[in-house]
Amino acid sequence: MYKKIVEKPIENILFIGGGETDFGLQGESDAAIYQVLPILNSLGYTTSVIDDNPYSLAIESPATTGFLRPLTVENVKAVLAEQNIDAVLPTFGGTRALRLWDQVLAEWRPENGPVPTSLGLKPSQLHQVNDGRLLFDRIIDAGLNVTASAVVKNQEEASELLREMELPLVVRAHQPIQTTTRQIIDRLDDFDQVVSQVMGQSLTHEVSIAKAINGLKEISVLVLRDRDGNCLKVGSSEDMDPIGIHSADSLSVAPVLTVSDQVLQQMRAQSFLIANLLGLQGVLHVQFAFNEKTGDIYVIKVSPYLDQLTNRMAVMTGYPVMLVAAQLAVGKLLTEVVLPNAFHAKTAIMEPVMDHIVVKLPVFSFGDMEATGTQVSRQLNSVQKSVGSALGFGRTFVEAMEKAIRSAHFNNRSFAPKYMADVSDDELIQQLIHPQDNRVLLLIEALRRGYEVDELAELTNIDEFYFYQLKRLLAIELSVDQQPGDAEALKMAKKSGLSDGLLARFWRTDFQSIRQLARANDIIPTYKALEPSAGEFPEHARQFFATFEEENESNPVCDRSVVIIGPGAFRMGDGASAGYMTSVTLSELHRLKYKTIIMNNNAADPTLLPHLSDKQYLEPLETSDVMSVIDRENPHAVLVPGNRKKLIAALEDLGQNVIVFPKEKHHPAGPEFSQSEFVLNLFYDGKDKFPLIIFQHQPGQIRLLDQEINPNFLAGLDLQSPGLYQVIWRVDINQWVSQVDLPNLSIDTWLRPMPYGHIAYLTKVLKMPLGRMVVRAWIGQLNAADRQLLAEVNTNPNFERLALMASATDYALHWKPDHWVDTTRFEMGARIAPYADEEG
Amino acid sequence: MERHLILEDGTVFSGQGFGAPATTFGEIIFDTAMSGYQETITNPIYDGQMIVFAMPVVGADGIHAEAYESTTPKIRGVIVHDLAEVSTNRQRRMNLDRFLQHHNIPGLYEVDTRKLIRHLRETGPQKATIVDVVDDHAVDQLVATVLTNKQVQNTATPKAYANPGRGFHIIVIDFGLKHGILRVLGDYDANVTVLPFTTTVDEVLTLDPDGIILSTGPGNPKDLPDEVSTLVRVLQTKVPLLGLGLGHELLALANGAGVKALPAEYHGMNHPIQEIISQSIFYARQGRGYVIDEESLDSKKLFVTHRDLVDGSIQGIRLRNYPAFSVQFFPDGAPGPLEANGIFADFFETVADYVQKNS
Amino acid sequence: MANKVVLDSDSMQRALTRITYEILERNKGGQNLILVGIKTRGEYLAHRIADRLEQLEQVQIPVMAIDVTNYRDDHLDSHDDLGLDSAEKLNIANQNIVLVDDVLFTGRTTRAALDALIQIGRPQAIALAVLVDRGHRELPIRADFVGKNIPTAQNEKIKVKVKEFDGEDSVEIEH
């Protein structure tokens, strides 16, 4: 009879994590893995996660077995054996995980046992994806354009073309005799020889040469595919800046606004075609270039794995992309996907539609480095410069953009009208053509100085639509400026996303009086639900953003709620770990039966995952935004990061119960090369101080000391509020030690709150939930067992020999600094590395 | 200038006027698609209706020659949250504002469209008017207005015309045809004759068609004269037949099935449609106020071939004994996904088969 | 050797769907229907048609397979093997048989299958469904249900791939 191939059902799945944070790699992989673990459990799977990122939330999840180990072939193989793994899901870890898994497969030996199933992508496809050329050849064979190309008949024509093109070039035989005749030319010297060689491979003696596609519109499309080939489009977004500027460094907007339905449908069809070509199960991100003049569409990048757009689309649309993608990867059909009760029953199979606009703005941290005297290149090009991004949600482009600007910058100082006045006309032209990180400001300034829309659109290759929008913003600013104290002007300004703070600056008053004027005139935000049906169905939405319209949809959660102010966009320093700590806090408060309300605007970290909090406000984090939410929710307490001094003061003025989340502004500090910094970590529960462990910090690395600390040492330390702290001193030692003499506490040391990253690291190596304990201490719920655990660490330390290493971020490539940069001081991320104890 | 939308249930929404400063009456519905406003506005199926777009920014792509679904829009009003201003120079000769002015259609922007849609999803479609002033007179006018049920007569061609090609001879019976159908027939190089819906069986068969398409169109299929049912009943036994939208509802009616009005209409392109025979799902533009009544379907005569997986509604049927089939959705896209284009491929294969067997 | 894809996976699915509808048009409700797939690929296609019939009509249509590689009149081997797996022999008397094959070319395969069937019983009727009809018949045989007519040159090769056996669905012409 009919034999359907029945494979042994998979039971044990290994996730390969995304590894350390870097340019283009924030916490998205970790957030995604963390999110899907519980649902896979409920479907009967056992999971394991391997990652070398000490800030990983996923490896701490109670829903999995986590392995904090370097991401190597040996370690993956070891976990496979230890955990009896029968399937590996590498696509959630992005490109690094895909390469590693490909390598594991290549090095698989019969004695390793049966090869585990590759979920998401089959091994052969995985290999094509890792070798981009193979993948693009298949895409070309399927009839899609990959880049604009010209066909030439002879060497002269080819040389002619060379003058207009930049290397590297792609040369292919036109109407090839054989199928694979694609050559990449990296060196000018090779050009003639390759062209004549390829010409010989063409039936018609013609060669097609790929052209640079700078200046075209860039569109991203995200789709899902199941094992039977059913595809669903999650969404698409467009970049304001043309190709030539890295997509991550451009303002981008979703949904797509300036491209016709016909073009979007072709991109959709091409995305589905590529998904089917790869036979993938899960998520696919395709980047397209679109030439408006000719109507040509080019495929420029294919990412059949989880990347930043995946998480961002989930937040922007309310469609649970990762929960669905994981189930497709393990073999479910789109029609079989199961979602938590909070979602509408049909959510998984309905393509999400948006009735709001989301603007993503890149965040650059050039200033942090420049402040220390290092010059960097601020010019935007095809190499990513931004370290993070923030989202702005609104019902018009202007509103979403203003809110994105405020989200990315915390304050609006740089957006006040006078700020750009110093730029000379020559500089302005230069920067219009060679964009820098102040892109949007510069475009507004150009309009302010009377440049015509046509002219600007031509100079910048930016769609006219954006200039008309920026002109609207300029007009609003102007009318606000001219009508101080006018309620109508205020209303218009609020509708356009402007903050009370910026208005106060315009009207030379304080923001309290703006707030009062707004309230007196009934100008208060109406919160709109963010849900994937655009209002078609009644929903139990828990995501909201502020607008100034008629109907408000957000009702207060309850009286035992806590508002948590998120860390906002990823920045240098403890950016990689701020999301971790905020998420741990949300999770612990939830466990303690508080209703949690998060405010944040960064989609790359886990803080906005729907299951982590009871309600999410997708908002900027300026004082006026926070106050409006507090007015609406009337929470029991507000949790604010310690570096938000102004916000804390404002909330306390309003009589709010503020809990300060200890955090300092990023200081590029650390020991010199001949030095070691010693750090005594301690826990203060409001009454007792618990010394935990000492670690030694040499440039680039931290190791733990196996040394008992005399509790009396801390007797003289004066602490204000419960939390984790560090007592620090420096010694001129440039080798690793196992013991250190304690210094004079009052003279040689200084005190700081424990950075989030160290909390994440110590939680893992000491195997005790320090983050959660600190949350318990804040709200007076630290229990006796906690205290006993804390007391035991010092006397009976039991830690893994894993050093905390600063990532070797390639600043030279991305920022071109004028001298060498110590990545410990400008941390983008971190990883762990095992070490052996020093002898003697 | 501030203008207002009054609904039959007395609810009033205010916004800024754009397009024509006219006062109009129509049936108000909402659309959740995020692209294709021009195609939607010009689709004849919206004759007599006003559309609220859930997509908050409308107009950013201007108006293009290749995106017309009919030459004259029959829509009665366009309600959006934010109207995008775009220039009318160079490749964009027309923008949405000027287009609506030109066709004497009023628009309204700065409306809390999400509130309006949440309201309409509960009440279902209702009569509405766009006015300058909200007063008793305006409300009385609205209450007194009887909306026409002659939308097909209003939009469909009164005269036959040809769109010649070198392929199969396809006759399209026009109930308010959208251009997308002709565009696809052009892709197949079909030799197309478009006939008015008042055509007789003889007139059709005299032209010796290889296949027949019952076009999309506006309104309630039951408002059409009985002759249409008779026409369909005969034609379906003669040559391969494809019904689309209203044409699908007509094929059902001609075969004894009932058609009923939906409590809330659906206009969008995000509902999955399942092809029952293969269990595969795809997405297509839908615009429907009516569906086939499940209870009334005679399974000895008809199969159900497609369903909307969100509301379970019938999206496709096929006759058991003849090569005649129809779909509720729009496989031509325009606007909308292209995945359902295969319906036309099926139709042409069926036609080819028919021609071969009868030659 | 360049291969040209003439039917992709999607068109192949649609062709099978259309064949299924036509079979139903001809055999009211699928009563007394038996599908007989000619090995190797015809068997898989027959099962796909049966799956489709089940989705549409909630009926299970019996499927059997027939192997005629040693049974064709252009083969020298003797005719003692009927080509039917004995375990799969069904009572075909008075049943409506639809023979299913991937490609119809000279007609010799079909003829061999007809011979085999008639030896085991006397069906009510036998019809033929093929995914591809490529012409060049050498016998008076005609398909009742055709997925796609693909006119070919005598020396060209048609290659049908099915997912269950070849890992993908497609029809290609080899020049």
What would the pLDDT profile of B119-129 be if each residue is shown by its tens digit?
999 999 999 99
Is A276 in Cβ contact with C47 (below 8 Å)? no
Cα–Cα distances (Å) from A674 to A549, A667, B188, B309, in that order, read 61, 20, 78, 68
Least confidently predicted of A115-124, A821-830, B55-64, C19-28: A821-830
Neighbour order of strands in the sheet with A701-705: A750-753, A723-731, A676-684, A689-698, A701-705, A802-806, A830-834
Name, of A513-527, A792-806, C17-31, the range with top average pLDDT: A513-527
Residues B131, B236: one domain? no
Q: Do B45 and B178 contact (CB within 8 A), yes or no?
A: yes
Residues B134, B187: one domain? no
Is B338 in Cβ contact with A350 (below 8 Å)? no
**B276 interaction partners in chain C (CB closer than 8 Å):** 55-56
Scanning every residue of chain A, which has its alpha carbon at the shortest distance from the alpha carbon of B180? A262
pLDDT of residue C79: 45
Residues B129, B241: one domain? no
Q: Cβ of A229 under 8 Å from any chain C Cβ?
A: yes
Topology annotation, domain A149-210: Dna Ligase; domain 1 (3.30.1490)
Q: How many CB atoms lie within 10 A of CB A685?
A: 19
**Tokens in use for A179?**
């199928």
Give the pLDDT mean for A494-504: 91
pLDDT band at A516 (very low <50, low <70, confident <90, very high): very high
Q: Do A542 and A614 contact (CB within 8 A), yes or no?
A: yes
Q: Supply the CATH classification number for the domain C3-24+31-174.
A: 3.40.50.2020
Q: What percent of chain A has pLDDT over 90?
A: 65
Scanning every residue of chain B, which has its alpha carbon at the shortest distance from the alpha carbon of A345? B310
Number of B/C CB contacts below 8 angstroms equals 46
Show which of B107, B132, B147 is a domain's final residue. Answer: B147
Scanning every residue of chain B, which has its alpha carbon at the shortest distance from the alpha carbon of C57? B303
Is A2 in Cβ contact with C47 (below 8 Å)? yes
Scanning every residue of chain A, which has its alpha carbon at the shortest distance from the alpha carbon of B339? A269
Asked whether the predicted pLDDT for residue A777 surpasses 90, the reply is yes
Read off the pLDDT of residues A354-388 as tens digits, 9 standing for 90 and up. Answer: 999 999 999 988 888 888 888 998 888 777 889 89
H-run or E-run covering B107: strand B106-109
pLDDT of residue A539: 79
Cite the annotated binding site of B for L-glutamine by residue number.
Answer: 217, 219, 246, 289-290
Residues B172, B297: one domain? yes
The interface residues of chain B toward chain A in range 314-353, judged by CB-CB distance below 8 A, are 333-339
CATH at B293: 3.40.50.880
Give the pLDDT mean for A272-299: 94
Q: What are phi and psi of A487, to 5 degrees?
A: -65, -40
Predicted interface score ipTM higher than 0.90: yes
Scanning every residue of chain B, which has its alpha carbon at the shortest distance from the alpha carbon of A357? B56
- Span(s) in chain A for CATH 3.40.50.20: 12-119, 527-661
Q: Do A618 and A625 contact (CB within 8 A), yes or no?
A: no
**Tokens in use for B282?**
């795809």
Q: Do B176 and B218 contact (CB within 8 A), yes or no?
A: yes
Quote the DSSP letter at residue B331: T
- Helix, strand or coil, per DSSP, at residue A170: strand
Catalytic residue among B82, B226, B332, B353: B332
Residues B157, B268: one domain? yes
Cα–chain center distance at B71: 15
Q: Cβ of A276 under 8 Å from any chain C Cβ?
A: yes
pLDDT of residue B167: 97
The distance in angstroms from the start CA to the end CA of chain A is 72
Residues B269, B180: one domain? yes
In total, how many domains does chain B have? 2
Is B112 in Cβ contact with A550 (below 8 Å)? yes
Positions of E strands within A699-829:
701-705, 723-731, 750-753, 802-806
Query: Amino acid letter at A405?
Result: I
Task: Compute the distance between CA of residue A778 and CA of residue A588 in angstroms, rounded to an integer.
Answer: 11
Structurally, what CATH architecture does the domain formed by A527-661 represent?
Answer: 3-Layer(aba) Sandwich (3.40)
Q: Cβ of B32 under 8 Å from any chain A Cβ?
A: yes
Asked whether the predicted pLDDT for residue A149 surpasses 70, the reply is no
pLDDT of residue A176: 62
User: Which pairing describes strands C63-66 and B161-163: parallel, antiparallel, or unpaired?
Assistant: unpaired
- CATH number 3.40.50.20 is the correct assignment for the domain at A12-119: yes
Share the mean pLDDT of chain A: 90
Provide the shortest C-alpha distance from residue B132 to chain A (in Å).
20
pLDDT of residue C1: 46
User: In the block, which residue shows the tokens 């008017």?
Assistant: B129
Q: Do A807 and A831 contact (CB within 8 A), yes or no?
A: yes
Is C2 in Cβ contact with A2 (below 8 Å)? no
| Backbone region of residue B176 per phi and psi (left: phi > 0; alpha: psi in -120 to 50; beta: other values) | left
pLDDT of residue A705: 93
* Chain B contact partners (≥3 CB pairs within 8 A): A, C
Quote the DSSP letter at residue C41: H
Q: Angle formed by the axes of helices A439-448 and A425-433, to 10°? A: 130
Complete DSSP assignment for A181-240: -EEEE-SGGGHHHHHHHHHTTBTTS-EEEEPP-TTSEEEEEEEEE-TT--EEEEEEEEES
The interface residues of chain A toward chain C in range 183-212, judged by CB-CB distance below 8 A, are none
The interface residues of chain B toward chain A in range 236-295, judged by CB-CB distance below 8 A, are 266, 268-272, 274, 279-283
- CATH number 3.40.630.30 is the correct assignment for the domain at A363-517: no
Question: Higher-confidence residue: A813 or A468?
Answer: A468
pLDDT of residue A670: 79
CATH at B110: 3.50.30.20
Residue C47, C-beta contacts closer than 8 angstroms, at least 6 positions apart: A2, C35, C37, C63, C164
Provide the shortest C-alpha distance from residue A204 to chain C (in Å).
16
**Tokens in use for A752?**
């700081």
**Tokens in use for B338?**
């292209």
Is C9 in Cβ contact with A276 (below 8 Å)? yes
**A181 interaction partners in chain C (CB closer than 8 Å):** none
Cite the annotated binding site of B by residue number.
Answer: 217, 219, 246, 289-290
Show which of B147, B162, B190 is a domain's final residue. Answer: B147
State which residues of chain C have pLDDT below 70: 1-2, 29, 70-90
* Best of B281, B282, B332, B341 to mutate (most A CBs within 10 Å, chain A): B281
| Nearest-CB residue to B277 (from C28, C55, C149) | C55
pLDDT of residue A665: 67
**B89 interaction partners in chain A (CB closer than 8 Å):** 454
| Backbone region of residue B333 per phi and psi (left: phi > 0; alpha: psi in -120 to 50; beta: other values) | left
Residues B177, B313: one domain? yes
b/e burial code for range A764-788 (CB count within 10 A of at least 16 → b) = bbbebbbbbbbbbbbbeebeeebbe
Task: Compute the distance between CA of residue B226 and CA of residue B229 in angstroms, rounded to an integer.
Answer: 5
Structurally, what CATH architecture does the domain formed by A217-352 represent?
Answer: 2-Layer Sandwich (3.30)
**B345 interaction partners in chain C (CB closer than 8 Å):** 11, 14
Q: How many CB atoms lie within 10 A of CB A23?
A: 21
Number of A/C CB contacts below 8 angstroms equals 11
Scanning every residue of chain B, which has its alpha carbon at the shortest distance from the alpha carbon of A538? B118
Range(s) of the domain holding residue B43: 2-147
Q: How many CB atoms lie within 10 A of CB A738?
A: 14
Asked whether the predicted pLDDT for residue A732 surpasses 70, the reply is yes
Residue A768, C-beta contacts closer than 8 angstroms, at least 6 positions apart: A789, A790, A793
To the query of whether residue B223 is one of the catalytic residues in this protein, the response is: no
Give the pLDDT mean for A751-759: 93
Residues B126, B164: one domain? no
| Nearest-CB residue to C10 (from B322, B342, B356) | B342
State which residues of chain B have pLDDT below 50: none
Q: What angle do CA A557, A560, A565 make, to 5 degrees?
A: 75
Read off the pLDDT of residues A212-261 as tens digits, 9 standing for 90 and up. Answer: 567 889 999 999 999 999 999 999 999 999 987 888 999 999 999 999 99
- Helix, strand or coil, per DSSP, at residue A687: coil
